Amino acid sequence: MVAKEKSRSADTRQALIEAFCDLYRENSLDKITVQAVTRKAGYNRTTFYQYFLDIDDLLRQVENSLLDYIVQKRYSVEPDEQTRYFIEDLVALYKERAIEVNALLGPHGRGHFTEMLKESLDLSFFHLDTVEDNQYQPYLIEFRLTSALNLFSLWLKRGQDLSVEELIGLVTKLYHFNPGLKELSEIHKRAAQE
């Protein structure tokens, strides 16, 4: 009996999350109401408040759940393989929770979620191989993270027109063979030595 109740509770919560994500993919957060979410999910407002404080709390829970997944994966991977696995993890996450990923990386969610992701990641993930006080480092990190997320978003928008391996290969090549990044790093290293 308890297991059935827990399962029903999880299903209800998930239905509310999915209704919210459907709305968030199409609307800015300020246009989404508890009433709209519950109507779409087929529940009443009282049910919503059993799981979430408000719309902001619902968004936070969705974001934190996805961030936890991504960040936990990062610490279990060797640095040389992180670029590849970051994209693979995004693809796996998309397969498991497409509706949430589409909402958070969609036109209304991308900037906020990307900022949270940047704050959560270990910066060594970006293997910039630069000195500690590199003035270019924040720019390089921004470039790498937003590039990977934007390429992933484009891949989703285009109906996954590349295979997963092709997408991973593209992002890996762009990360490791982009002469602009290497040149900036080398210029800064030379300046620091002088």
Phi-psi region of 162 (alpha: psi -120 to 50; beta: other; left: phi over 0): beta
pTM for this model (two decimals):
0.71
CA 135 distance to own-chain centroid: 26
164 CB contacts (<8 Å, ≥6 apart)?
Answer: 88, 91
Give pLDDT, residue 105: 79
Please, which contacts does 1-9 make with residues 24 or more away whose CB atoms are closer than 8 Å? Answer: none
Find the DSSP H helices in 42-81: 45-51, 55-74
Cα(186)–Cα(1) distance, integer angstroms: 64
Q: What tens-digit pLDDT sequence spans the chain (194 residues)?
A: 666 677 788 999 999 999 999 999 889 999 999 999 999 999 999 999 999 999 999 999 999 888 887 777 655 545 455 556 666 777 777 777 788 888 887 777 767 777 777 777 665 555 554 455 667 777 777 777 778 778 888 887 788 898 888 888 888 777 766 655 556 666 666 666 66
Give pLDDT, residue 77: 46
